[in-house]
Amino acid sequence: MSASVLFDAPGPRGRLRNHALTVIGVLLVAAVLYGIYTGFDAKGQWEGKIWQPFLEWHTWELYIIPGLIGTLEAAAVAAVLALVFGAVFGLARLSDHAWVRIPAGAVVEVFRSIPLLLLIFFIFYLAPMLMGGGDYAFMAVVLGLMLYNGSVLAEVVRAGVLSVAKGQSEAAYAVGMRKNQVMRLVLLPQAVTAMMPAIVSQLVVLLKDTALGYIIAYVDLLNTGFKILPAVFFGSLIPAAIVIGIIYVALNMALSYFATWLEGRSRRSRKTAAAPVAPPNAAGVAAGLGAKGGGVPPDSGAD
Give the start-to-end residue ranges of the domains of the chain: 54-283
Residue 145 pLDDT grade (very low, low, confident, very high; cuts 50, 70, 90): very high
User: Would you say residue 285 has pLDDT above 70?
Assistant: no
CATH 1.10.3720.10, domain 54-283, yes or no: yes
> Distance (Å, rounded) from C-alpha 84 to C-alpha 189?
16
Lowest mean pLDDT among 8-12, 29-33, 192-196, 286-290: 286-290
Instruction: Give the range among 65-79, 208-222, 224-238, 289-303 with minimum mean pLDDT.
Output: 289-303
pLDDT class of 280 with cuts at 50, 70, 90: low
> pLDDT confidence of 302, banded at 50, 70, 90?
very low
> Cβ contacts of residue 179 below 8 Å, gap of 6+?
301, 302, 303
Q: pLDDT, tens digit, for every residue of 11-68?
A: 888 889 989 999 999 999 999 999 988 888 887 778 778 888 888 888 888 888 998 9
Looking at the DSSP bridge assignments, the partners of residue 302 are 95
**Is 149's pLDDT higher than 90?**
yes
Does the pLDDT at position 200 exceed 90? no
Which pLDDT score is estimated for 281? 58
Pseudo-torsion of CA 236, 242, 248, 253, nearest 10°? -160
Indicate the range of 173-182, 190-199, 283-292 predicted with least confidence: 283-292
- Report the Cα 37 to chain-centroid distance in Å: 31
**146 confidence band (pLDDT: 50, 70, 90):** very high
Q: Has residue 297 got a pLDDT over 70?
A: no
pLDDT, position 50? 82
CB 221 within 8 A of CB 64: yes
pLDDT at 140: 92
Higher pLDDT, residue 5 or 129: 129
CA 60 – CA 64 distance, rounded (Å): 5
Of residues 200, 246, 245, 206, the one with CA closest to residue 72: 206
Weakest-pLDDT range from 110-119, 151-160, 259-268, 273-282: 273-282
N residues, the chain: 303
pLDDT of residue 272 exceeding 60, the answer is no
Mean pLDDT along residues 116-144 = 88
The yes-or-no verdict on residue 237 having pLDDT over 70 is yes
pLDDT, average across residues 224-252? 83
Residue type present at position 142 = V
- % of the chain exceeding 90 in pLDDT: 25
Return the pLDDT at 293.
Answer: 42
Residue 223 has pLDDT above 80, yes or no: yes
Contact, 191 vs 300, CB < 8 A? no
Residue 286 has pLDDT above 50, yes or no: no
| Statement: the pTM of the whole predicted model exceeds 0.75 | no
Count of CB atoms situated within 10 Å of the CB of 202: 26
- Within the chain, where are the H helices? 12-42, 48-51, 57-59, 65-92, 98-113, 116-131, 137-162, 166-174, 179-181, 188-209, 221-222, 229-232, 237-269
Give me the chain's average pLDDT, please.
80
Query: pLDDT category, 84, cuts 50, 70, 90?
Result: very high
Contact status, residue 148 vs residue 114, Cβ threshold 8 Å: yes
Q: What pLDDT does residue 107 have?
A: 92
Alpha helix (H) residue ranges in 163-187: 166-174, 179-181
Tell me which residue of 203, 73, 193 sits closest to 149, measured CA to CA.
Answer: 203
Q: What is the CB-side half-sphere exposure of residue 197 using CA atoms within 13 A?
A: 12
